[in-house]
Each structure stands twice: as structure tokens, then as C-alpha cells.
A and B are shown apart, each in its own frame.
Chain A
Amino acid sequence: MGAAPRSAARRRTGPGGAPRRNPERTAVVVVGGGVVGCAILWALTERGIAAVLVEAEPDVCEGTSKANSAIVHTGFDARPGTIEATMLRRSAALWPSVIDRLGVPFLPVGAIMLARTAEAVDALRGVIEPNARRQGVEVAILDRSEVRALAPYVADDVLAALSVPGEGVIDPFWLTRAYAEAAVEGGAELRLGRAVVGLEIEPRQARVLLDDGGVIVADQVVDAAGIEADTVAALAGERSFSIRPRKGQFLVSEETFGVDRIVLPVPGPMGKGMLVTPIVFGGLLLGPTAVDVAAKDDLGIDELDRERILAACRAMVPALAEAVPIRQFAGLRHVSSEGDFILRPATVGDRLFLAAGIRSTGISTSPAVAEFVVDAVVGLRGWGPRPRRLLVPPPLALPDPPGRVVCLCRSISEGEIVAAARRPTAPRTLDALKRRCGATFGDCQGNLCAVEVARILARERRIPIEAIDKHRRGSWLWRARAGTLGEPVGVGEIGADGPTPPASLVGPWDAVVVGAGAAGRAAATAAAAAGLAVLLVDREGPGSPDRPPAGAFAAARATVVGLAPGPSGWQLAAEVDAGSTTIEARAVVLATGAYVEPREHRTIAGPRPAGIMTSDLAQRILAAGLLPGETVALVGSAHAEGLAEALAAAGARVLRLAAPPEAVAGDARLSAVRVGGRWISADTLVLADRLVPQTFLLRSVGLADGRPGRPAPVDARGRLPLEGLWATGCCVRPDPTHASCRADGAALGERLALALRPDVGVPSGPSGPRPLR
């Protein structure tokens, strides 16, 4: 979205009434940094036309382009004769080249439209299939047995289906960014975080007034401002159309349940229905709903729609009954008053070209819309035939070695984060960085690593860490506390040849214990006392001051990122300060602990502003010398006592809540939480009430699926289903006391010793050998 809020008046002064700066000149200004705006910027630049893109948000792809099904449609169900259908058909021809040149993550998964009633079968055969063929789209009707052979996960009541092999899924962030980066490589300019507050369309030029006092004079303006396209146009007096927002809510499941293609129902009288859509990087997208809403910033989520989505998707794919959504979000489609795409000059003058009303196929039609708009603009301005340059984004350059692991859930290194921060569309916010490299996108949703990730981004941008926002303007993450900023984390030279990891780590060990919390240390101590050669590893270092080393075991700071069977039993892929290494062990004990369940995994209604975090993040923010918020609603008691005191000591006003709120409110930053039907003002919500096990290491050996927070599946003795793997502590039972963790760990260490060296036995301590569970 490229416009200022609706209330913004056209003005000739900058902020604070300062006079506007001398105008800059360019050929074309594109307003709006969504997928369509960025595609137009790319197409203009390829034709050698100087262009500037203006976007109000701090990153491209912050509006509708980021919150949709991410499908590249064939147009098989497009309404014949519409501009949309024409654009879909033309795009189908352009996509192979666009995907290849831009290097965008894309999967040609295909789609099946399920008919579960006789009426739906009739619609499939009588209307949908013939329409698809008229559009030139390859489709095939499948009978019941063919559907089950192709997609055994669909419901038993499916009678027939339409197969559309040409449908695919893409990464919308990557696509939008790739368009922008290729354009920037060709000389185009991005103005991110700059809203258009005035637009003057004159016979010989157009003037674009920005909220920072800047003025750009252009031969042509293209309005690609998405949901705000009518707001931007109205700045120039153009009122020939309007845009209504239609909200769609989605759920994300990391587990796919075998679904390998887009699954959708035959549309009914209530609309197109919900889809089950594979995500390029794994997982499923469920939804969307479709509800007309009044406000263009209504991105709230709610439990009712969550249940509607799950019910509709379960009806098509019954296994989704076991789905554990890790995220719920909403997007707004643009419904134009013209009922179709609006691709034409404005009525107030042809120096404003409208690329608006691009309802729900913006990604799919972006290549053709860009081509059409640029052809039209070239024609309007009489710029004549223009040779085309082929522009691509620069390749991603990853330093090797990659550096320390920063985001544990996704194994993302500092090197990857730095590489993302140095891209041509340099990320300015935490979410912008997340979309470029995946950091903070894992199970914990950034609650364990956001401070570290932001610190690296701040260093790259040469700004204070407190100036890093979460996403939109005003979405502050934390406040500075004067004189208390922590020391910058030492990083070393990324990509430089480091020392070789010490051979002493490699083993083979009798046992490696992963995690130096109470359970891990107790397990290591007991196993070592029984004569095993034990290595205890922890990513924060087992010898850190609050965890002094004890017992006759070796200890090392190392981040274990994967497990695999090896010649000695197990191999652990680990990152240590000196680089990557492989540790060999006969047995592995996972004591990887737990994390507080983030908001994204819960059903708390409302929008997704900054300021909602778990106690894991709040503690890290305090440890960095920052303040998580000024008025903090703190949920929970067992894990929150010390935190409440620390927050108060740091200057926060703390409101204790016994249970999570039903809903939250806020735009860029949290403004209130609703408890028992009553709204309470707070700029920060800290969840400290519910721990979930941290077990994602088990995914690499097939013992855990994509659902987060599942306990390690141990038997009564602490053994996992694969020989030589054990687990103890919070990753097995997420809410024990410190003392019970210690007891569980010690008992497991003794059992492990007996299992590996039955001849040695377990020495009697003060309390004697423990009984086996």
C-alpha cells in the first residue's frame, strides 16, 4: 500500500510545516510495493524507463501480497471475458520464464477440485470443465477411484474431481522481492516507508508529494496501491472507482498429512470455499474465509473462523483433524466497484494510470499486468519501441563457514542473516528480515532469538537496536533503558577460515547429553558417575556462570542441529565456535527443555501487532538492557514471579493476569487486551503460563512430525523408539518442577549406564540406587 491513511490531506509542506524540498525528476512513479507494483517496476526497468517505487510500509509485500493462498492460478475457473481472465491466460505463457529468471521458489503441484455431492458432480461436468477448456487450460475429470489413487488422503465421500495439473504454488514474498531486487539491479529506486500524501496530475507532468516533504515530478504515475488504490487516486481527485476490503483468514499447519497438491471444493452458493494448499517451503495453508469488512485495516483473527476453516478443510482431508495450526492470519482482497481489474488511465488525466481492483489473483496475473501496464504507459507517453534488458536479482551469496547458529528452530546462522540484510532491498524490520532468511519463523516464533536477530540487523544498518521495528511503522519491539544496554555480542569474522573444531569433541562418546538444564546435568552426572564417557553440550555453554560445571563429564558449548545414525550408534551434527563438527556417540540423551507457547499457536482473537511475546523473549529483552514494554500484561504465575519483579525494576508497570486474554487490540503495537469481556490498556502482553516441549531435533530422525510442541515419545524408561536415543526433563513432560527434572535426569542417567555397561552397575549414592520406573 502506498498511500497515507485516508485522512491525510494534500499539502505543500512537509512534516511540521517545513517547506517541501526541491523536486526530483523521474519518468515513472509506481505507488505501492505489492506484487503488482514491484512487477511493474521490474517491467519498466527492463524497458530502460527510469522509475521510483513509493511504498508507505517499511518493506515491499506488506499488504495483500503477503496474505493469500500463494497459488499461481491457471485461470481454469476465471469468468470468461473479464480482464482478469485475459491476464491469467497471458501470465500462464509468461510464468515459466519469470520463475526461471527470477529464481523464485515455485512448485508445480497441480490441483484437484473435489465434488462430494451429485450436484457438485453436475457442476464439474456441466460448467467448470467446459469453462476451463474454453480458457485453454488443461483439465481432466477423475472418477472416484482415480481420485483416490491420485490423492488417497481425500475424504471417502468424494464422488469425482477435476484435476488441474497446471496450478502451482509460489513464495509470494520471494516473488515480490525478486521483482524489486531485479529492478533495483537495473537502476530503479525504492522509497520504502514513505507515504504519498498528495498527487497532482497536470497535462504535462505529475507531482507526487511524500510524507517526508519530498516531491517527485514524473511523466507518469502508476497507482498500484492495492487496497488503498482508491485512496491514492482520490488524492488526485479521481473518484471513478472504489475498493472494498474482503477479509480472508488462513491457518498454517507445519504437518502436511501427505497432502501433495492443492485441494479445493466445487464452488457453492456461498463462494469458492476453503482450500488446502501446500506451502513451497513445507506445511499447509488452510483457508481462506471470505467476509466483506468495513475497515481497510481489519486484519483481526478469531476462533470462530479458525473452527470454520478447520471444519471445511477436514471435510475434504479428514487427517486434518490432527492438525495443530502454528499460525493464523488474515489478508484483505480488493473488490473493485467495477467488478473486474481496473487497468486504464484515470479520468482526471492519463498521467495517472490505474492498476487497481486486482482482487485475488494478483500474484498469478502479475507478469501480464506488468507487461500490459508498461505497454500502455509507453504508448500514452509516446516513448516508442524500447529494447528490453533482461534483469535478474543478484545471486544469494552465503559466507562459508556460516557462523554461529542464531535461530535454533530453523538452524539459521549469522552468516545467512547478514547475507539477507545486505540484499538490494535491504530489510529494515524484523519481519522483513524473517521473510528473507526465515529467522524467527520456527516453532518458537522468534521468542528465543529475536533479540539476537535484531542485534545483527541493527549492526548491519548501523542503527541502535531499539530503532528496529517488528513490521509496520510504529511497531516498536522494545524500549531503550538509559545506560543499561548490554554489550554487543561478539561475532567474529563471518566467512573467514576459523580454527578447526577440536578433535576432542568428536568422540566416540558413550553418551552425549544435549541440553544443560537441570535434567541434562543430572543425567550427565549420573551417567558419568557410573563410568560412562559422557559429553554434555548446550548452545549457551554448560559452563556459564549460572550453570557451573559439575560431575565427571566433559562439557562444551555446541549447538546440535541434527541427528543421524552413525557407525558408533549416533552422529550429532553440531555447530561450535570454530565451525561445524560431527560428534559420535553410542547413545544420545535429549534434555532440550521447553519453551513458552507463543501466541501464534494459541487462539487469541484480534490483530497481530508488535508487543505480544512469551516470557522467553521478555527475559532476553531485559538481559539485553532493554525494556519489553511500558505497561505489561503478564499472564501466568509459575514461570512469572521473578519476571514480574524484573519488569517492575526495569520501570514497567506490570498487570498480572491469571489466564491469557480472549482478544487483543492494536494496530502497529498492542494497545489493549480483553479479559472476561473487559478491555485493559497495555502495550505489551507477556505469556508465561504454558510450556511446550522443544523436540524439533527428533524431526530429523522421523520421530516427530511438523507439529510443534509435541513431547518426545519416550517409554516408561525414557527410551525413544530408536535404539540409543533417550530423552528426559521438560522435553518429555513440559511442566515439572526443577527438582523433579533433576530427579528424572539422574534416574535416566543411571538407567542409561546400566543399558550401556551392565557389567559396571550403578554405584550407591546417599539414597542408594534408584528404582527403575
Chain B
Amino acid sequence: MNELLRDRVAIAVPPSTVWAVVDDVDALGRVLPGVESIAATGPGAFRATLAAKIQFLTIRADVEATLAVTPPSRARLRLVGRPRGLVGSFTAEIPFEVTLVPAAGDEEPTSEVAYSVEVALAGRLAAFGAPLLRDTFRRQVAALVANLEAEHRRRREAGR
């Protein structure tokens, strides 16, 4: 595996919301960018078809995912997939840690997520080059953060 990216992002939702979404495959389907279909296949496991836009090409991939949570704050997402229409496959390991960021006064606490992405690319995706894939992954993370914050607003409005 080669490390593609190591970064941290701030999310304007409390860690409890992050973990609640991680534990709910339907919610994951709403917040993961480009989900075309998703179904739980067991505890901490799901199968999905994901679409990711690499600027010039939207790649659809069939993905098997497993999520191993290490309470209270760590988890590791493993994605094994095959892009449609392209030769090859990919495996991505994404360990992440969610840290509570206290807020002042009555405001809700938020989260900081530190993550890294290690990938093993077989075939065509390897020829796209790490810079372009890194850029794509960063965009996906930005979309995920926005979706998570929208999900949090929905939950709050629904009184959950």
C-alpha cells in the first residue's frame, strides 16, 4: 500500500453525529459522495456502487466496504473495489480518528477528523497518477463534510 494522503478536517457536527452516521447504512448512503446504491451486507459491512468525478471522467466503482470501529474515537474503513469500464481494481485503507472540539457557551461542540488514505491500485487507476487521485480524494472529503453537516441539520430539525 502507498500512502496517498494524510490530512485532517473540521466538521461542524459533534462526534456523536459522526458515529451515528457511520453506524447507519442509510445515512451513509446520504452522506457518502456519489452513492448510487448501497446495502448492508453484515455488521460493519456494506456493498455500494459509488461514482467519483476525476475532473474529466466519472468513474463508477463496485465497492465492498468494511468498517472496524475501535471505541471511543477510532475506526478503519477498508474499501475493495473495481472501477466499471476500466481494467484493474483498488484497495483503500482509511484509518480515522474523531476528536471532539469543545465550543464556547451554548454552542454545539464540533469534530476534527484526522485521517490517512493508503491505496493499492492495480491497473488503469495507477496510470492516472497520485496527484490527480489525491486531488479527487480531497474533493470527495470536502463533499462528505458538507453532506455530514447537512445530515446533522436534518437530524436536528427532525428532533433527533
Contact = CB atoms under 8 A, between A and B. Distances in A.
Interface of A: 99, 103-107, 109, 174, 178, 256, 260, 278-283, 395-396, 398-402, 405, 410-413, 415-416, 419, 438, 442, 561-565, 573, 575, 580, 582, 699-702
Contact of B55 (A103, A415, A575): A103
Contacts of B126: 411, 562, 699-700
Interface stretch (B11-19, B36-44, B85-93): B85-93
Nearest to A559: B87
5 contacts: A282-B132, A399-B85, A411-B126, A411-B127, A561-B123
Where chain B touches its partner, the secondary structure class is mixed
Given A104-B55, A395-B58, A562-B121, A402 B85 contact: yes
A260 B129 CA distance: 12
Contacts of A699: 126
Nearest to A406: B87
A701 B54 CA distance: 23
A580 B88 CA distance: 7
A396 B57 contact: yes
Contacts of B84: 398, 400
B53 to A, nearest CB: 8
B56 A281 contact: no
A564 B78 CA distance: 13
Interface of B: 1-2, 54-58, 82, 84-89, 91, 120-124, 126-132, 135
Given A395-B58, A562-B122, A415 B127 contact: no
Nearest to A99: B55
Contacts of B57: 103, 396, 398
A722 to B, nearest CB: 11
Given A562-B120, A701-B120, A702-B1, 13 more contacts: A99-B55, A105-B56, A279-B129, A282-B127, A398-B57, A411-B86, A411-B87, A562-B88, A565-B120, A575-B87, A580-B82, A580-B87, A702-B2
A526 B79 CA distance: 37
Contacts of A701: 1, 120
B56 A562 contact: no
Contacts of A280: 129, 131-132
A443 to B, nearest CB: 11
A701 B127 CA distance: 14
Contacts of B86: 398, 402, 411, 413, 416
Contact of B87 (A105, A281, A405): A405
B87 A413 contact: yes
A564 B2 CA distance: 11
A573 B132 contact: no
A442 B124 CA distance: 11
A651 to B, nearest CB: 37
Nearest to B3: A702
A411 B89 CA distance: 11
Contact of A412 (B82, B89, B124, B131): B124
A109 B120 contact: no
Return the 5 tightest CB-CB contacts between A and B, nearest first. A562-B122, A282-B129, A398-B85, A573-B122, A561-B123
B50 to A, nearest CB: 14
A728 B122 CA distance: 21
Scoring B54, B58, B124, B132 by chain A CB atoms within 10 A of each residue's CB, the highest score goes to B124
B131 A109 contact: yes
A410 B124 CA distance: 6
Given A105-B56, A395-B58, A411-B123, A573 B88 contact: yes
Contacts of B2: 702
A398 B123 CA distance: 15
B10 to A, nearest CB: 21
Nearest to A108: B135
Contacts of B131: 107, 109, 260, 278, 280, 282
Contacts of A580: 82, 87-89
A99 B55 CA distance: 8
A103 B56 contact: yes
Nearest to B55: A105
Contacts of B55: 99, 103-106
A295 to B, nearest CB: 35
Nearest to A283: B129
B139 to A, nearest CB: 11
B127 A561 contact: no
Nearest to B2: A702
B89 A562 contact: yes
Contact of A438 (B56, B89, B121, B127): B127
> Which residue of A109, A412, A561, A565 has the most chain B CB atoms within 10 A of its CB atom?
A561
Given A411-B123, A561-B123, A562-B120, A107 B89 contact: no
